Homo-oligomer: A and B are copies of this chain.
Amino acid sequence: MRAVVYKAPFQVAVEDVPDPRIEHPSDVVVKITSTAICGSDLHMYEGRTAAEAGIVFGHENLGIVQEAGTAVTSIRPGDRVVMPFNVACGFCKNCIAGYTGFCLTVNPGFAGGAYGYVAMGPFRGGQAEYLRVPYADFNCERLPAGTEHETDFVLLADIFPTGYHGCEMAQVAPGETVAVYGAGPVGLMAAYSARLRGASRIFVVDRIADRLRKAEEIGAIPINFEDRDPVAQIKELTNGEGADKGVDAVGYQARAHEGEREEPAIVLNALIQTVRATGALGVPGLYVPADPGAPDEQARRGVLGVAVGRLFEKGLRVGTGQCNVKRYIRFLKELIIAGRAAPSFVVSHELPLEAAPDAYEKFDKRIDGYTKVVLHPHGG
């Protein structure tokens, strides 16, 4: 079959690879109809991880079940399904507790597995014609038959739940004000989720006009951090108090201004200033324990200078870590079906699989309006 294969930094190719097959009685093979490129794929693409040539990318996958192992009971060939990006067993103590992003079974020696991602286990990605899905009863979320909401549904694999997770970690509650740093796809999903949870006002901080416009379109208040200190702007809009809650949808590759060197803790520290005493921060934005491209020696080991004194003085709570998609996927799906959520407004391009190399390049450069790309390996 055809698949998007990582070749070298800034280089992917669509190549022939062996077809996946049932390897365990609990597996299914899914014919992929939609698969999205994620901002986190770019970390590998840019050579800023330990990813080696040969990896098939793709952890945001949706398709039709092609074949099912003998132990699979709830999923049948022909079912339309979307897969959480986390591969999880469903029965280890972390899965049982709802922490499916930290499964202890699927990726021995580590807590958590994923499709097509460096260090996340032996699972090929879904930017391909077909995908093997282990523990299929647990890892497939069944969708209504047909093709309706295809582009909304594929976002259930990662970014819609991940944005929601930011709000959950920040414990966003009705009537609250929320500051979201970053208006990329995850930041927009966080703002959108804050609205679904009943936030009163949502501030979205970025510097790119297009992104801020999208934020405004979904009812958020855009804050351009290049205009003026975003902390000051948000305090002014909240009678000097700051926001009740905050979400970091940027992560470690942050910088104060375009073209300047990275300051990996700048968003975290801005949030500590932005959020009022007694508040909470949700951090779905990625931080890593080893970053060869970091601006200083401490940061290379993932150690960042954090305003702990102020954090403590304000009594803030902080939630971190990748999303446990399984925890949110079912009810977010229900909101899409009921017409109450339509996250596909963030998708800028829908393309055939063969367009992947070009799409990666443009998305990485943030040119030609590439903000979120969905690939359709079988057309459509």
Q: Which A residues are closer than 8 A to B by beta carbons? A: 24-26, 69-71, 73-74, 89-94, 96-97, 99, 101-102, 105, 111-112, 137-138, 169, 173-177, 196-198, 200-201, 252, 264-265, 268-269, 276-278, 283, 286-291, 298, 301-322, 326, 330-335, 337-338, 340
Q: A101-B315, A200-B337 are in contact. List 10 more A-B contacts (CB 8 A).
A: A70-B71, A93-B330, A94-B277, A169-B317, A175-B332, A289-B307, A302-B309, A303-B307, A305-B305, A316-B321
Query: Are A105 and B71 also in contact (CB < 8 A) when A283-B312, A315-B320 are?
Result: no
Copies in the complex: 4
Identify A321's interface contact among B102, B268, B312, B340, CB under 8 A.
Answer: B312
Q: Give bound CA distance, A356 to B283, whole Å.
A: 46
Is the beta-carbon distance between A321 and B313 smaller than 8 angstroms? Answer: yes
Is the beta-carbon distance between A312 and B304 smaller than 8 angstroms? Answer: no
Is the beta-carbon distance between A24 and B71 smaller than 8 angstroms? Answer: yes
Q: Give bound CA distance, A91 to B102, whole Å.
A: 17
Query: Are A74 and B101 also in contact (CB < 8 A) when A304-B305, A309-B303 are?
Result: no
Q: How far is the CB of A344 from chain B (nearest CB, A)?
A: 17
Q: Give bound CA distance, A303 to B265, whole Å.
A: 11
- Interchain Cβ contacts under 8 Å between A and B, 6 examples: A99-B278, A102-B278, A174-B331, A175-B333, A175-B335, A317-B318
Question: Looking across the interface, which residue of chain B has its beta carbon closest to that of A306?
Answer: B306
Chain B residues in 8 Å Cβ range of A200: 331, 334-335, 337-338, 340
Is the beta-carbon distance between A89 and B69 smaller than 8 angstroms? Answer: no
* In the A-B complex, the 3 residue pairs with the closest CB atoms: A302-B309, A315-B321, A175-B331
Q: How far is the CB of A27 from chain B (nearest CB, A)?
A: 10
Is the beta-carbon distance between B331 and A309 smaller than 8 angstroms? Answer: no
Query: Are A278 and B331 also in contact (CB < 8 A) when A309-B303, A312-B283, A320-B317 are?
Result: no
Question: Looking across the interface, which residue of chain B has its beta carbon closest to that of A305?
Answer: B303
Is the beta-carbon distance between A278 and B111 smaller than 8 angstroms? Answer: yes
In this complex, the member of A196, A269, A291, A317 whose beta carbon has the largest number of chain B beta carbons within 10 angstroms is: A317
Is the beta-carbon distance between B94 and A278 smaller than 8 angstroms? Answer: yes
Q: Give bound CA distance, A317 to B283, whole Å.
A: 10
Q: Give bound CA distance, A164 to B85, whole Å.
A: 35
Is the beta-carbon distance between A91 and B90 smaller than 8 angstroms? Answer: yes
Query: Are A91 and B265 also in contact (CB < 8 A) when A70-B25, A176-B331, A278-B111 are?
Result: no
Q: Give bound CA distance, A70 to B26, whole Å.
A: 9
Chain B residues in 8 Å Cβ range of A101: 315
Identify A201's interface contact among B201, B312, B330, B338, CB under 8 A.
Answer: B338
Q: Give bound CA distance, A93 to B338, whole Å.
A: 18
Q: How far is the CB of A153 from chain B (nearest CB, A)?
A: 14
Query: Are A317 and B317 also in contact (CB < 8 A) when A303-B305, A335-B200 are?
Result: yes
Chain B residues in 8 Å Cβ range of A315: 99, 101-102, 111, 320-322
Identify A25's interface contact among B71, B91, B174, B177, CB under 8 A.
Answer: B71
Q: How far is the CB of A281 from chain B (nearest CB, A)?
A: 9
